[in-house]
Amino acid sequence: MSDDRLSRVFAALADPTRRDIVARLAVGDATVGQLAEPYDVSVQAVSKHLKVLENAGLVSRTRDAQRRPCHLEAEVFDLMIKWIERYRRAAEERFQRLDAVLAALADPADLSHSDLSRPDEQGAAS
């Protein structure tokens, strides 16, 4: 997936109406009219949203006699997941290194070298 296509996918999903359309298409194919029903906008406005989703490769339209159902192209999500997963793994590795540092700081053996862990010596010196 090219960066331009990836940018189009994320830009398309930035709009809450388009995210809702994608969620509804995840359940099953639907016509533009069916997708427009719950919104207080025209069928043309929903068609414009669908065009953005189509240009991003998230949605395709087919012809079924007089109907033109919209279909979610789920393989695009697989490509997005791979892109996201790369950064999730890098973040996980950083968290594991941080956990190791915090565990070393909390280890009582490490604290035995600090002045706070030896009150007898501090009290005797006063």
Where along the chain do its domains lie?
3-73
Q: Are 21 and 49 within 8 A, CB to CB? A: yes
Rounded Cα distance between 47 and 30, Å, is 12
**Span 6-48, pLDDT tens digits:** 889 999 999 999 999 999 999 999 999 999 999 999 999 999 9
Structure tokens at 38: 């719950």
For residue 31, which of 63, 74, 68, 58 has the smallest C-alpha distance? 68
Query: Residue 35 phi/psi, 5° resolution?
Result: -70, -30
Helix, strand, coil percent content, the chain, rounded in steps of 5: 70, 5, 25
pTM, whole model, 2 decimals? 0.68
Give the architecture (CATH level 2) of 3-73: Orthogonal Bundle (1.10)
